[in-house]
Structure 1
Amino acid sequence: MNIEIKQLDEKWKTFILRNDHGMEVHILNLGGIIQKIIVPNKHGDFENVVLGYDNYQEYRTDPYFFGAIIGRVAGRIEGASFEINGKKYELERNDATNHLHSGEGFHRVFWDAEPFETSNGVGVKLSYFSKDGENGYPGNLKVNVTYVVKNDNQLVIDYLATTDETTPLTLTNHTYFNLSGNLKDTIEHHSVRINSNNYLELNNELIPTGKMLDTKNTPFDFSRGRILNEGITSDSEQNKVVGNGYDHYFLFDKNEKGNIEVKDEVSGRVLKIQTNQPGVVMYTSNNLEEGCELSGGVSKKYLGVCLETQASPASLHSKGLPSILLNKDEVYNKQTVFTFQVN
């Protein structure tokens, strides 16, 4: 196992984490962005399985959040405002009248980065101090995000944070996965399994209505695995409202750890995801525009699938969902593990 550090210019660095079996994860200090994940297919060919840019400067203005840490709050906050203890906080309206992915959030900042090695992995620890009032959020927030690559072809992401004042916090990583390798195909024929009986209904602005819908006998039932194209071509109003596909929050069944499985039959690649987060937003890149130069190809709809493990910001306005408020003296401690295998 080893770590390679590339100094791209005065500020930008890439950290390449390699295990003993050839798996690589490339991480930028800007936004903690995952640029590449290189893993084998069933023939032993190593290829990149995420969407990103070859030209690192593109990440400065990237509208798609490729591979980035999202925070303080991942997702949409209705009306770009929330209340804590009767006090109203106004945020940037960057998605119609709503607030998406914290505006100029954690994906736009340079993180302090510290590489390290352990007996069973190589990693980089990213640290950022978000000041009280930054992007409209209360409280001074200390955040650490740690990436570790292990020899069993696992990528482990640990999120740790503390605040001196109650603040909303739900962090995630916004990587777009494409298991075909080097963008050879779209994700329309990827199969996904999610342990979830309920998902959140969305309105025309993609804001949860507060209504929890049953997945049973719908294109949202992934309990036994489902080809993504079934939702992309579905006549279901909920598939149509997001631009034909998925951009929905699935709540994990309470007695199950957040287990997700993604398969691509052609390459034989399998991605397994485990997390202690209460749910996941699955987004099938319905709004990814054509013609953007990416590493390995050109962007188009359905080129990647995001699996954003997190709690839902809808809890700020709707009851019955896991809270995203972090209080003073509490510790935010979340983990998501991505395991790459072949069939």
Structure 2
Amino acid sequence: MPVSSQHIGQFYNQPVQEVTLSNQSGMSVSILTLGGIIRCLHVPDSDGELKDVVLGYDSLADYAKDIHYMGAIIGRVANRIEGAQFNFNGETIQVDGNAYEGKHCVHGGRFGYHHRVWQIARVDETGDEISLWLVLEDADGEEGFKGNVEVSAKYTLTNTNQLRLDISASSDIASPMSMTAHSYFNLNGHESGSINNHLLHIPSDHALQQKLDRIPNGEIVSVRHTAFDYSLG
């Protein structure tokens, strides 16, 4: 299972690498140290033809100005923090108001994990799989969040054409953490147009209702017979 790495540019004077993992079937995934971004994911279709099934940009400059968090790891807190502040252990914590004209904190702030350069810890090859480990030191006070946090992201590609991402974090004090990955997929290939022929199944009967600025209002509502009903029932 080969692995390759190349320097693709700088982000705020920090070098950014692109690491590509490949398996015996020709499947490959390219990951940027900027944001842990999955830039390309070439997968063989039923005819054995390789197609890139994730959306991404051609240049590092495009990722630097991207507002859609394309393919990145999101943290410390994914989604929205209303008013860019929250109460934690009796203290009001003010965080970066990076969206909605500065009113709310979205996806960890302006320099959340999507706009941080991660470090390559190691590459492991065991049996029928290969793994890339990226690590990030998130210091106390970054974007207003408290505590020093160590984050690890492990990308694993197998010879059975599986891609896994395992994310873990530890903090030296109690701190809210809510991370996710933010890839956009088109299983027909990213240049093939609409995804209207895709079938999506989400085994959930309810969702959080939203108020202005897409902030949950605390109400749990049924998704049956709405645009959010993906139960296939």
Tell me the distance in 1 between the aligned counterparts of 2:49 and 2:166.
Answer: 29
Tell me the secondary structure at the aligned position of residue 79 of structure 1: helix
Tell me the distance in 1 between the aligned counterparts of 2:224 and 2:214.
Answer: 22
- RMSD value, Cα: 1.4
Tell me the distance in 1 between the aligned counterparts of 2:154 and 2:96.
Answer: 28
| Residues 219-298 of structure 1: pairs in structure 2 closer than 5 A | 219-224=227-232
User: What letter corresponds to residue 195 of structure 2 in structure 1?
Assistant: I
Report what 2:193 is aligned to.
185
| Residues 161-172 of structure 1: pairs in structure 2 closer than 5 A | 161-172=169-180
Report what 1:5 is aligned to.
5
User: What letter corresponds to residue 101 of structure 1 in structure 2?
Assistant: H
User: What letter corresponds to residue 44 of structure 1 in structure 2?
Assistant: G
Identity across aligned pairs (percent)?
38
Tell me the distance in 1 between the aligned counterparts of 2:93 and 2:18.
Answer: 36
Runs of 4+ in 1 over 6 A off after TM superposition: none
Report what 2:144 is aligned to.
136
Give the structure-1-normalised TM-score.
Answer: 0.63
**Which of 142, 150, 153 does residue 161 from structure 2 map onto?**
153
Tell me: CA distance 1:9–1:207, structure 2 relative to 1, closer, same or farther (3 Å). closer
Tell me the distance in 1 between the aligned counterparts of 2:150 and 2:59.
Answer: 30
Q: How many residues align?
A: 225
2:9/2:60 contact within 8 Å kept: no
Tell me the distance in 2 between the aligned counterparts of 1:88 and 1:179.
Answer: 44
| Residues 1-343 of structure 1: pairs in structure 2 closer than 5 A | 1-9=1-9, 11-96=15-100, 97-103=103-109, 104-113=111-120, 114-224=122-232
User: What letter corresponds to residue 6 of structure 2 in structure 1?
Assistant: K
Tell me the secondary structure at the aligned position of residue 115 of structure 1: strand
User: What letter corresponds to residue 61 of structure 1 in structure 2?
Assistant: K
Tell me the distance in 2 between the aligned counterparts of 1:221 and 1:47.
Answer: 29
Tell me: CA distance 1:137–1:223, structure 2 relative to 1, closer, same or farther (3 Å). same
Q: CA deviation at 1:219?
A: 2.6
Contiguous gaps of at least 5 residues in structure 1: 226-343
Tell me the distance in 2 between the aligned counterparts of 1:107 and 1:9.
Answer: 16
Q: CA deviation at 1:9?
A: 4.3
Give the structure-2-normalised TM-score.
Answer: 0.92
Q: CA deviation at 1:185?
A: 1.5
